[in-house]
Amino acid sequence: MVYFKFPFDEQLYSTDEDPNENQISFHPFNGSEAIQCSGTLIQVNAGHSNSIPDLFQPLPEEEQGYREETREEYIDNIHQVIRLIKEKSLPKLVYSRRKIVGGFREIDLQTSFNNLCEAYPNAFRYIFNNGEHSWMGAFSEVLGKFNKSTHEFETMSLAGTLPVSEAWTEKEVEEQKPVSDYIKNILDRYSNEVSTSATYDHISGNIKHLRTDFRARIKPEDLERIIEDLHPTPAVCGIPKDFCKEQIERTEKYPRELYAGYIRIETDDTVQYYVNLRCAKLFRDSVHLFVGGGITSQSSPEKEWRETELKSEAILKNLILLSSE
């Protein structure tokens, strides 16, 4: 079962599980087979998530063999990534880790999801559990939004992360710029009508990002090809894409699975794609939080560790974990 809310929309949606329809799907980072949520989209209630029907199956058992990367291991790996970036003259490579939280009896899914929805009204918020896979997330990055009537396509460059109170540095500006250039170059191949906004602050809870918006008029038949070209963006992978993706799979301790993949939702009027960033994989007695950051030649390993800890709070602070005592 899946429940979700669009950004700036408190209406709760789900699916009717019609086996002949698939209007929402979860696409893994590595491009492997998507997880389909059968059914047509339906409205669940008048606008608040505090009356979700109790349709969740029991959460899956935790997978064996996963151990949280220590701070020392993470910092060691970031040093290796920085050496690679300098050696290959890479603009950016994204490195991620899992933060594992355990020691509780169960998760109060209802209250946890309510908390997440209230904390991030400008994000796409979802909770998903089919008995085999169970995830929850809230994130603002739009991979693409296509209007079926006007053929207008929207996307964004969202990169660089700091606490809301801190001022931008050259590192964050240089991290975001190649993401914008990458997106603009792709859209120029499909449209002669591409508009680009000024770069501005995007606030998400306790952190902020640099954001640039793009609009283009495209042919409907090009939509899925554009999404394939955009994913994974430099914001979640690096530049050049294929090389960085290969290095990620070689360097990171565990597979990303749905983290940094995307969610596709089709309605009567639009097809929308959201990057699955601030998210966690849920188990009966543990939570795996996926967090990462864009590494450049100017990165500080210690600062990158603090950034991932800050990002993990996006989900963790909203979870209600019931004691095992």
205: left (phi over 0), alpha (psi -120 to 50) or beta: left
| pLDDT 10s digits, 5-23 | 999 999 999 998 888 888 9
The two three-digit tokens of residue 260, written as one number? 């940094």
pLDDT range class, residue 152, cuts 50, 70, 90: very high
- How many other CB atoms are there within 10 angstroms of residue 115's CB atom? 18
CATH fold group of domain 2-46+69-323: Anthranilate synthase (3.60.120)
Give CA angle at 91 (217, 155), nearest 5°. 20
Q: What would the DSSP string read from start to end of 270-285?
A: EEEEEE--SEEEE-SS
* Spans of all domains in the chain: 2-46+69-323
Q: What percent of the chain has pLDDT over 90?
A: 72
Q: What is the DSSP letter of 22?
A: B
The distance from CA 230 to its chain's CA centroid, rounded to whole angstroms, is 14
Chain segment 70-119, per-residue pLDDT in tens: 999 999 999 999 999 999 999 899 999 999 999 898 899 999 999 999 99
